[in-house]
Structure 1
Amino acid sequence: MQLIDAATAAALPFPRLIDALRAMFAQGCSVPPRHVHEVPAPGGGFTSLIMPAWLEGRYYGVKTINIAPGNAARGLPGLHASYVLHDGSTGVPLALMDGSELTNRRTAAASALAAHWLARPDARHLLVVGAGRVAALLPAAYAAVRPLARVQVWARTPGQAQALAARLRGQGLPAEAAPDLAAACAQADMVSCATLATEPVVHGAWLAPGSHLDLVGSFTPAMREADDACFAGASLFVDTPEALQKSGELLGPLSRGVFTAEDIRGTLQALARGECAGRRTPGERTVFKSVGTALEDLAAAIAVWESQPR
């Protein structure tokens, strides 16, 4: 069994990873419900998710991801994951991969894939809200689907935004810290939020007509990055139907009648298969909400595995 560490997984270019996700959404694979376990321990314990998926006769993969909010007080990341890819016919383990890096990269790639269909073709200005590990990957992912002329970063701690902007400039991206979130939202063509917020950070009144809003962070009912006005009058898309059951981003507005489940225009699978249209007009405001799926993990793991020398 091959060991593929974070550096190896990170070597997979975003254009190839985005293409792998698009192909897997179009093809489909088996994705049973994830297992969720609360693991008690001193200091609060953690939540463990077990996420299997397979392509019949080809590949079988399982991600174990542990989420420990109390780790911040210990100076540790709150999320740790591992991914084991197996032969889909024999069950033989092929590779053990750094699941955290895999998750971060496939999450950013899914946002960029959605923007491929939902952002205006002439969109050039990206605003990233957040400065964590996924936020740091979003500009490079978006650059694979739109030629970025300006990247702004906003975070609650200005120093973190400035540090991330400097790192992005080191990657050749035209990045700067945004001191005023409302002003930055008003100017941006694409706003991508990757935070752990539990109260709205972005407000619909700030968003420009024709803009695209990407919401990554809210993956539990208690989390939320956008206010109700972000959804009112917008064309709404999700990565999978599961988003409607999991994300406080959607559950709150749904309960208040801001929109209905029938107002969701489509999923990534429907977009990849051509079963629904993406953006229809330049002035249309689009919103994409993701919660992640084991399909994306499997697609990313296969892409990493098949890129390795044999």
Structure 2
Amino acid sequence: MSDVLIVHEDELRQHVHLDEQAIAIVEQAFGRLAEGGVEMPPVLSMHLPDVNGEVDVKTAYVPGLPGFAVKISPGFFDNPAKGLPSTSGLMVVLSSETGRVQAVLLDNGYLTDLRTAAAGGVAAKHLARADAGRAAIFGAGMQARMQLQALRLVRPIAEAAIWARDPDKAAALAAELADDGLNIRAEADPERAAAWADVIVTTTPASQPILRAEWLRPGQHVTAMGSDQDGKNELDPLCLDRADLYVADRVSQTQSLGELQAALNAGIIADTTEIPELGQIITGQHPGRTSPDQITIADLTGTGVQDTAIATHALDALSKARPNA
């Protein structure tokens, strides 16, 4: 096993970035998932309520790629009070031909953060209005920062509002992200932030809704990406009833881990057979948004195909940076 490539977070951050290429890589992965042939088992998810933590294991085999990733992703949400990030983890890349370990990416959750943000960019690219210029971000952690960055790569976002349950954190993030090209502020009232925005992104581990259906208005797009475990819930289930188009990253996941779960439990949605997946919109199997007045929702729970895609992308970038590796 001496030929196994070991890569640490610092080197990955140096060579793999949240940019248009990363968004394209994740977009292609969703398309491959919709076209069929991808092997992606259900998420192995372990909830640790005693320590406010969770661990997810995700993977996917994509025909034609030289390897596939198995990702271990812990989330321990009391860590910030201990001076530690909430998320960490690693990816192991195995050969698609032999199954032998090719690389261990000790990314400490960086690649997961990157591919999650890229998925938000993909969702906005295909579902938000082309002229969307205002973004409301619910949350003030790493994903809040990265989701806004991804949005700006695909839509002309010139103004942004940050709402968080901790107003000081919202203010700190707004101050950090302020620059000449973005008018950004902290917003204490979530209703006002939501009603003002063209695109709303929820990025929290909330177990009770933080976005109400009555706050939504025609033409908006919502990306909900915080609900990736049984018991999490960021959107009022009536949001899905209010929406003209609800899109899942993977229906089988969103009905057990995502916002769809709460809507099913509330009896608001009974039949999931006609729910489109993001990859079907990317590949043209579903028309997606058909009117500027529609309200659209993307429910992103995180898929193994994203992990294999970003790990493959990372190894390609590293091979160019260190060809003898």
Q: 2:289 aligns with which of 279, 282, 298?
A: 279
Greater Cα shift, 88-97 or 143-152: 88-97
Q: Which has the higher contact order (CA 8 A, sep 6+)?
A: 2
Cα distance in structure 2, aligned partners of 1:107 and 1:248: 14
Distance change in 2, residues 1:228/1:49 (3 Å):
closer
Q: What is the CA-CA distance between 1:167 and the residue it aligns to? A: 1.7
Q: What is the CA-CA distance between 1:160 and the residue it aligns to? A: 0.7
The answer to whether the aligner puts 1:54 opposite 2:64 as a matched pair is: no
Distance change in 2, residues 1:171/1:216 (3 Å):
farther
Q: What is the CA-CA distance between 1:16 and the residue it aligns to? A: 0.7
Unaligned regions of 5+ residues in structure 1, if any?
Answer: none
| Residue in structure 2 matched with residue 213 of structure 1 by the alignment | 222
Residue 12 of structure 1 contacts residue 304 of structure 1 at CA under 8 Å; is this kept in 2?
no
Cα distance in structure 2, aligned partners of 1:99 and 1:75: 15
1:49-128 matches, within 5 Å, as: 49-56=56-63, 58-71=66-79, 74-90=82-98, 91-128=100-137
Distance change in 2, residues 1:163/1:85 (3 Å):
same
Q: 1:257 aligns with which of 259, 264, 267?
A: 267
Distance change in 2, residues 1:194/1:6 (3 Å):
farther
Q: What is the CA-CA distance between 1:259 and the residue it aligns to? A: 2.3
Cα distance in structure 1, aligned partners of 2:173 and 2:307: 26
Identity, % of aligned pairs? 30
After superposition, the C-alpha distances for 1:205-242 in whole angstroms (9 at most, x for unaligned) are 11121101111111223111111331223111111113
1:295 aligned partner, one-letter code? V
The answer to whether the aligner puts 1:181 opposite 2:180 as a matched pair is: no
| Residue in structure 1 matched with residue 41 of structure 2 by the alignment | 32
The answer to whether the aligner puts 1:18 opposite 2:26 as a matched pair is: no
The answer to whether the aligner puts 1:297 opposite 2:316 as a matched pair is: no
Residue 238 of structure 2 contacts residue 263 of structure 2 at CA under 8 Å; is this kept in 1?
no
Q: What is the CA-CA distance between 1:45 and the residue it aligns to? A: 8.7
1:244 aligned partner, one-letter code? T
Q: What is the CA-CA distance between 1:279 and the residue it aligns to? A: 0.5
Distance change in 2, residues 1:165/1:258 (3 Å):
same
| Residue in structure 1 matched with residue 160 of structure 2 by the alignment | 151
Cα distance in structure 2, aligned partners of 1:167 and 1:48: 30
Q: Normalized against structure 1, the TM-score is what? A: 0.90
Cα distance in structure 1, aligned partners of 2:300 and 2:249: 5
What is the number of residues matched between the two proteins?
308
After superposition, the C-alpha distances for 1:230-285 in whole angstroms (9 at most, x for unaligned) are 12231111111133332362222223222233375411221222111111111111
Residue 45 of structure 1 contacts residue 68 of structure 1 at CA under 8 Å; is this kept in 2?
yes
Cα distance in structure 2, aligned partners of 1:168 and 1:26: 32
| Residue in structure 2 matched with residue 160 of structure 1 by the alignment | 169
Q: What is the CA-CA distance between 1:87 and the residue it aligns to? A: 3.1
After superposition, the C-alpha distances for 1:4-60 in whole angstroms (9 at most, x for unaligned) are 4156347423211110011122223322233345689xx749543322222346112
2:19 aligned partner, one-letter code? F
Distance change in 2, residues 1:36/1:129 (3 Å):
closer
Q: What is the CA-CA distance between 1:73 and the residue it aligns to? A: 5.3
Distance change in 2, residues 1:255/1:35 (3 Å):
closer
2:94 aligned partner, one-letter code? H
Distance change in 2, residues 1:262/1:66 (3 Å):
closer
After superposition, the C-alpha distances for 1:119-153 in whole angstroms (9 at most, x for unaligned) are 11111111100001111101110111101111111
Residue 86 of structure 1 contacts residue 95 of structure 1 at CA under 8 Å; is this kept in 2?
no
Q: Secondary structure at the match of 2:235?
A: coil
Greater Cα shift, 168-177 or 215-224: 168-177
Cα distance in structure 1, aligned partners of 2:180 and 2:63: 39
Distance change in 2, residues 1:221/1:100 (3 Å):
same
Distance change in 2, residues 1:52/1:176 (3 Å):
same
